[in-house]
Amino acid sequence: MIATANHVHHRNTWGEAMVGVITFFIVVGILLLLGMLFFILELLRPRAYPPKRILQARAKTLGGAGFLFCFFGIILAILTK
């Protein structure tokens, strides 16, 4: 703790700083998974454009990235406890 004038500043420890990083990874992962869900729902609608293979590719990409972000965030959360 550093005391200056009437303010007390706390220095962040490694664990406190990692909370923001972990939260970032999990929130981005959830957003990517929601994007995957959007494209899966678009696949169920009858339409000609964009082609289904394009929607499937987008859903796979967002789903894979979302899974990796969530997985990495959870691993960091476990390791920093």
Q: Report helix, strand or coil for 3.
A: strand
Kindly state the DSSP code that residue 51 receives in the 8-state scheme.
Answer: -
Residue 51: exposure state from Cβ atoms within 10 A (0-12, 13-18, ≥19): exposed
69 with 25: CB under 8 angstroms? yes
Domain residue spans of the chain: 2-79
- Torsion sign (Cα): 29, 31, 34, 40: negative
Task: Provide the pLDDT for residue 7.
Answer: 59
Q: Is the pTM of this model over 0.75?
A: yes
CA distance between the termini of the chain = 22
Segment-wise mean pLDDT, segments of 10 residues, the chain, 81 residues = 56 74 95 96 88 94 97 93 77
